[in-house]
């Protein structure tokens, strides 16, 4: 079981390739955005607030990409913003994409993969860089064989819609189709997002326009994220258990059912901790801390002890029928795993 991890420039000064090198045998890919380009997260190299820019970010990125290539790591370039505005179909966008790919090629060789939400960008890559694998972003929410089939002309691989991935049998069905059609299936395993979140498209669009939004005087006191508003009510913590993440201990159930397992680490404050947990298949501590976004601050002083989950957790989730009004299983599990920092020593 090999992993793809998200590139970042850690604030502690340690070069990201050093982290990768420690887990080289299990890390197949590193995915990364281009500096200043819109993506599925805040653009790399932006300091936030009035379009601030870290002008050293590109030099650091290019140095790190060259080192990752020397380690034999595949490089996955992200163009996974949910919106490209008026440029979405433009020659200008196509030229920009081509120029970035060519530039990377001059630095360390062409990317192995381009992951995108944009059919335009997938078309550009397919047309001008046929040797690069095109991958459908998890933000496209592709969750059926029909959807994979319809998008097959543009994409060589797909991230499965994360809302559906807790059922290994369903994942296996999707993977079988991919194998039969010379495609690949990938899973994002540590997303902290709500399952079937009604605000996901809205949120992804906001992120795509983050640089513009930072230059505006925005409505005070309004939080546009469904999850953070929901978790203000501590009685809704059980909703986290109903989300899309897969625990490190349960990932072995997916062996052979996907070609790659993605760890969200682009903005995680402790990427090494996340990688170690999933590579080792074991983690003792607050499960919230493995996720991106990390909701630990919203839940404090309570936390979810990962080692306290019952043995049948993954099997029960696999056959969940979404009848939350009458089931009560997640509420029972919550009582088992929720702890408070005040009583750690007493326990």
User: Quick check: 91 pLDDT over 70?
Assistant: yes
* Mean of per-residue pLDDT scores for the chain: 93
The pairing of strands 260-263 and 157-159 is unpaired
The pLDDT tens digits of the residues spanning 242-267 come to 999 999 999 999 999 999 999 999 98
- The token pair that represents 340 in the structure block: 């408070």
> Could you please report the per-residue DSSP string of 309-331?
S-TTHHHHHHT----TTT--HHH
The pLDDT tens digits of the residues spanning 158-214 come to 999 999 999 999 999 999 999 999 999 999 999 999 999 999 999 999 999 988 898
Q: How far apart are CA 263 and CA 313, in angstroms?
A: 21
- pLDDT at site 47: 53
The torsion angle over the Cα atoms of residues 146, 147, 148 and 153, rounded to 10 degrees, is 100
Task: For Cα atoms 73, 76, 77, give the angle at the middle one, nearest 5 degrees.
Answer: 135
- pLDDT at site 45: 59
Residue ranges of E strands in 62-167: 74-79, 113-116, 133-136, 157-159
- pLDDT at site 132: 98
- pLDDT at site 346: 43
The CA R_g of the chain, rounded to the nearest whole Å, is 20
User: Quick check: 344 pLDDT over 90?
Assistant: no
The pLDDT tens digits of the residues spanning 282-301 come to 999 999 999 999 999 888 89
- pLDDT at site 211: 84
Confidence of residue 347 (pLDDT cuts 50, 70, 90): very low
Map tokens 């997938």 to a residue. Answer: 122
What is the rounded average pLDDT of the residues 298-312? 94
At residue 39, φ and ψ (nearest 5 deg) are -150, -165
- What lies within 8 Å, CB to CB, of 236 at 6+ separation is 230
Q: How many CB atoms lie within 10 A of CB 167?
A: 13
N-term to C-term CA, the chain: 35
The pLDDT tens digits of the residues spanning 123-174 come to 999 999 999 999 999 999 999 999 999 999 999 999 999 999 999 999 999 9
- pLDDT at site 290: 97
The pLDDT tens digits of the residues spanning 18-61 come to 999 999 999 999 999 999 887 766 667 565 444 556 778 899 99
H or E element that contains 147: helix 145-150
The pLDDT tens digits of the residues spanning 314-335 come to 999 999 999 999 999 999 999 9
- pLDDT at site 55: 75
Confidence of residue 14 (pLDDT cuts 50, 70, 90): confident
Q: Which residues pair with 142 in a beta bridge?
A: 160
What is the rounded average pLDDT of the residues 85-111? 97
- The token pair that represents 293 in the structure block: 């976004």
pTM for the structure as a whole: 0.93
Query: Which is the CATH superfamily of the domain at 3-285?
Result: Aldolase class I (3.20.20.70)
At residue 226, φ and ψ (nearest 5 deg) are -55, -45
The dihedral of CA 159, 276, 286, 166: what is its sign? positive
Confidence of residue 11 (pLDDT cuts 50, 70, 90): confident
């Amino acid at each position: 079981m090999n992993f793809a991890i998200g590139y970042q420039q850690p604030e502690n000064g340690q070069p990201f390739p050093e982290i990768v090198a420690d887990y080289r045998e299990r890390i197949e890919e590193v995915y990364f955005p281009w500096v200043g380009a819109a993506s599925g997260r805040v653009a790399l190299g932006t300091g936030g607030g009035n379009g601030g820019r870290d002008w050293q970010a590109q030099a650091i990125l290019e140095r790190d990409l060259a080192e990752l290539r020397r380690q034999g790591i595949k490089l996955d370039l992200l163009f996974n913003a949910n919106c490209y505005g008026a440029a979405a179909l433009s020659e200008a966008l196509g030229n920009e994409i081509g120029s970035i790919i060519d530039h990377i090629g001059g630095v360390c060789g062409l990317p192995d993969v381009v992951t995108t939400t944009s059919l335009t960008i997938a078309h550009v890559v397919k047309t001008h860089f046929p040797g690069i694998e095109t991958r459908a972003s998890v933000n496209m929410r592709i969750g059926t064989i029909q959807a994979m089939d319809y998008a097959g002309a543009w994409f060589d691989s797909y991230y499965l819609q994360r809302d559906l991935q807790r059922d290994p049998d369903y994942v296996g069905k999707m993977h079988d189709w991919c194998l039969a059609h010379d495609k690949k299936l990938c899973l994002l395993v540590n997303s902290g997002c709500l399952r079937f979140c009604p605000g996901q498209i809205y949120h992804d669009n906001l992120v795509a326009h983050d640089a513009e939004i930072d230059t505006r005087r925005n409505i005070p006191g309004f939080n546009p994220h469904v999850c953070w508003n929901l978790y203000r009510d501590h009685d809704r913590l059980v909703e986290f258990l109903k989300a899309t993440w897969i625990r490190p201990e349960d990932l072995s159930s997916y062996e052979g059912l996907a070609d790659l397992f993605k760890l969200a680490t682009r903005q995680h404050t402790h990427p090494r901790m996340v990688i170690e947990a999933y590579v080792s298949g074991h983690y003792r501590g607050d499960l919230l801390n493995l996720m991106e976004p990390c909701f630990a601050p919203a839940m404090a002083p309570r936390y979810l002890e990962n080692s306290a989950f019952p043995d049948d957790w993954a099997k029960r989730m696999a056959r969940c029928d979404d009848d939350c009004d009458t089931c009560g299983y997640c509420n029972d599990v919550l009582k088992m795993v929720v702890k408070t920092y005040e009583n750690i020593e007493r326990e």
